[in-house]
Chain A
């Protein structure tokens, strides 16, 4: 499978615990994005990497959230001290090098987080 992969697919945790999600983009895609989607809503942007540089962050990305892409390949999203409001689907997307005009984003299957 050459698409975007995410791990784990589902995560159930207790309030206050830390969780970490992983995203592997399509090979040779240098752009990587994280979005969050709650029930009945469209995805909301969290952060964007070009290679290993984090170039854009949403105000939604509070101090409890941190994302990394250390070698410009896979990325991790960590949520510290989880809250019930963090329950959502976390989606990762990637896109190839090139002008934004042609920038088609391809999404992974998502990680469903449930905070009890």
Chain B
């Protein structure tokens, strides 16, 4: 059974720091990995999708990397801003399925 882990569960940083969010998964037979952002009480906003054959994807200040063989992904946020405060979730699409399997998320607070 696929398990996705995000550690730490919460992080508080001052504005301007460069951040690395970690995600690990137990079964490397995935089709892709997606990073999401969730604001309190809201739905999920897709940030980046990395296909299983890719090593990284970039969007603005965000860069996500994937090391499928070791079951790890990182989301890099450059020059963090208070508006980046949210919960960040990673999820994988398992081989043989269409569903996303999510981690519990990491709550990020960026202080002005």
Contacts and interface: CB of A to CB of B under 8 A. Distances in A.
Tell me if chain B binds chain A.
Answer: yes
The majority secondary structure among interface residues of chain B is: strand
B93 to A, nearest CB: 6
Interface string A76-99: 000000000000000101000000
A4 B36 CA distance: 15
A4 B44 CA distance: 11
Contact of B98 (A48, A102, A112): A48
A65 interface: no
Contact of A110 (B32, B43, B91, B101): B43
B44 A91 contact: yes
A58 to B, nearest CB: 8
B61 interface: no
Q: Which of B41, B44, B101 has the most CB of A within 10 A?
A: B44
12 contacts: A41-B104, A42-B89, A56-B98, A58-B99, A101-B32, A102-B32, A102-B51, A103-B98, A104-B46, A105-B46, A108-B43, A112-B41
